[in-house]
Structure 1
Amino acid sequence: MRLTPALLLASAATCAAPAEPPAESSAESSAESSAEPGWILAKIARPAPARTPFVEVRGSKLLKTPLRLTGEYVRPDADTLVRDVRTPYAETTTLRAGEAVIQRAGQSPRRFSLSRVPELAGLQNGFGALLGGDRTALEAHYRLQADGTRQRWTMTMTPRDAAMAAKLQAIVLYGRGAELRCIETRPVGNVEAQRTLLAGAAQDAAKVQDSAALATLCHGAGAQ
């Protein structure tokens, strides 16, 4: 298994999503207030330790139905990201100190350096920026565009790096208030988007099997 740049960013972003968003003041919670990148980043930023459940849906021309993964993202400390897949198979991916370690029961751990993937050079720096709510640092690697209100918003992240942009069109975050509910990864070309539903959206998706319904659930998190 090879982790894509988008998946690594999703790992970072999902650990910023709280199971229960913190309360806002009456001024901040106004549904009519427009969302903007700085406000969104400040709200979804979370210090370690943090964890959140996820439902990931991957489409492929080789599959009759989309592959559906469930599990949990964990950020035990500021320097570590863990992606724990529980179904339809068990696999744990740990990102730490510029290295990825992939573990499956009964198999030896697989290790590789993230530096071997050229397009990850800027992305590694973006991890701390996203989790820390650092807009300036994040914009060094992505163009950010926010839409919607503070109650329901989307934020589109378009890569600046040419190597990453050749593979990744954009990553779109969908949320409600301080809760990041879905990440949609849009590859370049005629490739179906990959969606990762998080926190409350992952719970809502527990009994939803249809891929179109899951896409609607993902997009609905940011609908006006």
Structure 2
Amino acid sequence: MISGKTHLLLPSLLLTLCASASASEQAPASSPAHALIAALGQPAPAHTAFAEARFLQVLQQPLVVSGELSWLGGDQLQRRVDRPQRETSTIADGEVTQQREGRSARHFSLKRAPQLQVLLDSFVALLSGDAARLQKSFEITQTGKADGAWTLTLVPRDARVAKTVASIRIDGVGKQSRCMHMQEADGDLAVDLLGPLAAKMPADPTRETLQALCQGAP
């Protein structure tokens, strides 16, 4: 959906990031984290399973969806939801297309949502391993070690993006990203379990159970 929310782009992060610092620090222009991000850039097309729980302040229970995320190369991203109902969201050629089963497709230009364009540019930079480009749009903070558990936190530099997205946190182990948390400025939270971990999404997830999954043994 549009409505000022940027969660459409959240599952487009098919992340394979890692960090190598043993203590928290903001990544400088030529840090080990930058080298690792560059080394972990993946060729397109890339696909991964996901399961997402969205905790909205207006609802008592989280919304849970699952499906597949795809980076098709360049600025082409796709999110296919299989459950609870089929829906596909695609970003390509500066346009967002949303298709729900049994309904007509909806289209809108990224020019209508400049904050989405900023996020798109940054996420593509991340997926392709362009750490310098990513640093232009986000303050990057890292904890953990490259050969163990790690956490990467991205804070938007652009004030327009920050009005919607407060921060993005990725948890992983080694060269595998396991979870992504998008904390929205209005207090809502979306947590994505990625890859094999997606199959472990609880029937009734809580923030605490998801945190345990994300930081548990691979």
1:199 and 2:203 matched: no
Q: Secondary structure at the match of 2:114?
A: coil
1:209 is aligned to 204
2:75 and 2:157 map into 1 onto residues whose CA distance is 24
Unaligned 5+ runs, structure 1? 19-28
- Tell me if structure 1 keeps the 8 A contact 2:8–2:89: no
Divergent runs of 4+, >4 A: none
2:197 and 2:73 map into 1 onto residues whose CA distance is 25
1:156 and 2:157 matched: no
2:26 is aligned to none
Deviation string 1:90-125 (CA, Å, 9 cap, x unpaired) is 100011011110001221100001111132342232
Aligned partner (choices 183, 186, 189) of residue 186 of structure 1: 183
Q: Which amino acid in structure 2 is aligned with residue 160 of structure 1?
A: R
1:130 and 1:124 map into 2 onto residues whose CA distance is 10
Q: Which amino acid in structure 2 is aligned with residue 12 of structure 1?
A: S
2:163 is aligned to 166
2:38 and 2:200 map into 1 onto residues whose CA distance is 25
1:103 is aligned to 99
TM-score by length of 1: 0.81
Deviation (angstroms), 1:219: 4.0
Deviation (angstroms), 1:37: 2.7
1:26 is aligned to none
Please give the residue correspondences for 1:115-134 in structure 2 after superposition, counting only pairs within 5 Å. 115-134=111-130
1:218 is aligned to 214
Q: Which amino acid in structure 1 is aligned with residue 165 of structure 2?
A: L
Aligned partner (choices 45, 50, 61) of residue 49 of structure 1: 45
2:33 is aligned to 37
TM-score by length of 2: 0.83
- How many positions carry a matched residue from both structures? 206
- Tell me if structure 2 keeps the 8 A contact 1:55–1:70: yes
2:102 and 2:188 map into 1 onto residues whose CA distance is 32
2:217 and 2:131 map into 1 onto residues whose CA distance is 22
Q: Which amino acid in structure 2 is aligned with residue 148 of structure 1?
A: G
Deviation (angstroms), 1:12: 3.2
Worse-superposed segment, 37-46 or 81-90:
37-46
2:156 and 2:181 map into 1 onto residues whose CA distance is 14
- Percent identity for Structure 1 against Structure 2: 34
- Tell me if structure 1 keeps the 8 A contact 2:118–2:161: no
1:11 is aligned to 11
1:7 and 1:37 map into 2 onto residues whose CA distance is 27
Q: Secondary structure at the match of 1:119?
A: helix
Q: Secondary structure at the match of 1:163?
A: helix
Q: Secondary structure at the match of 1:140?
A: helix
CA RMSD, 1 decimal: 2.6
2:27 is aligned to none
